[in-house]
């Protein structure tokens, strides 16, 4: 119910503070509006900020015991984001949405991603096991003659050459206006 000013009131006539929209509600609305933009012919770059926000939300694991409503809302957001990215054939964005859901430990995200890959891309998806821990690169042994590109002796080291020795990059090109 509302009073004469349009404020929400409960059955006793007490003005009720408006509820703050949940992140799920806000993202749902933004996804719907973005899909309308696509239908109106706007370039797909307009949807990228919305998809980035969805990815950020999905990448965060639920910190408390998840309620079914939160799980269902997260799944709805994921599905709508995938549908939006598919509508503009941005399969890279679909992969980013699913990858965020996997990082956020969303139940069944790996399976949904694999099923999508077979259905849309007609290829089997291979993901590393969820228990795999990325390992850091092994340090180079002291006195080793092998240097990485950013090591002190590498081509991108501070003070190093701007073009690797033997490269033909930039051959015949000048950058000075007076040399033209």
Q: Mind spelling out the 3-state secondary structure of the chain?
A: CECCCCCEECCCCCECCCCCCCHHHHHHHHHHHHHHHHHCCCCHHHCHHHHHHHHHHHHCCCCCCCCHHHHHHHHHHHHHHHHHHHHCCCHHHHHHHHHHHHHCCCCCHHHHHHHHHHHHHCCCCCCCCCCCCCCCCCCCCCCCCCCCCCCCCCCCCCCCCCCCCCCCCCCCCCCCHHHC
Please check whether residue 80 lies inside any domain of the structure.
yes
Residue 168, pLDDT score: 44
Q: Give the pLDDT confidence of 114-123 residue by residue, as tens digits.
A: 999 999 999 9
Please check whether residue 51 lies inside any domain of the structure.
yes
The average pLDDT across 95-114 equals 95
Please check whether residue 7 lies inside any domain of the structure.
no
Number of domains the chain is built from: 1
Higher pLDDT, 101 or 145: 101
Please check whether residue 86 lies inside any domain of the structure.
yes
Q: Give the pLDDT confidence of 39-88 residue by residue, as tens digits.
A: 999 998 999 999 999 999 999 987 766 678 888 899 999 999 999 999 99
Give residue 43's domain range.
23-121
Please check whether residue 88 lies inside any domain of the structure.
yes
Report residue 10's pLDDT band, with 50, 70 and 90 as the boundaries. Answer: low
Please check whether residue 34 lies inside any domain of the structure.
yes
């Amino acid at each position: 119910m509302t009073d004469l000013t349009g404020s929400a009131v409960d059955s006793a006539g007490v003005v009720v503070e408006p509820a703050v929209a949940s992140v799920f509600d806000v993202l749902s609305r933004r996804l719907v509006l973005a899909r309308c933009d696509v239908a109106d012919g706007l370039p797909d770059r307009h949807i990228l900020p919305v998809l980035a926000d969805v990815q950020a939300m999905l990448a965060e694991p639920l910190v408390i015991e998840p309620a079914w409503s939160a799980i269902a809302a997260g799944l709805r957001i994921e599905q709508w984001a995938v549908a939006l990215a598919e509508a503009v054939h941005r399969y890279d964005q679909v992969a980013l949405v699913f990858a965020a859901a996997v990082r956020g430990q969303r139940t069944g995200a790996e399976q949904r991603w694999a099923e999508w890959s077979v259905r849309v891309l007609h290829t089997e998806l291979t993901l590393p096991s969820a228990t795999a821990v990325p390992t850091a690169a092994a340090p180079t042994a002291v006195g080793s003659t092998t240097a990485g590109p950013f090591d002190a002796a590498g081509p991108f080291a501070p003070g190093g050459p701007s073009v690797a020795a033997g490269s033909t990059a930039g051959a015949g090109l000048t950058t000075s206006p007076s040399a033209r």
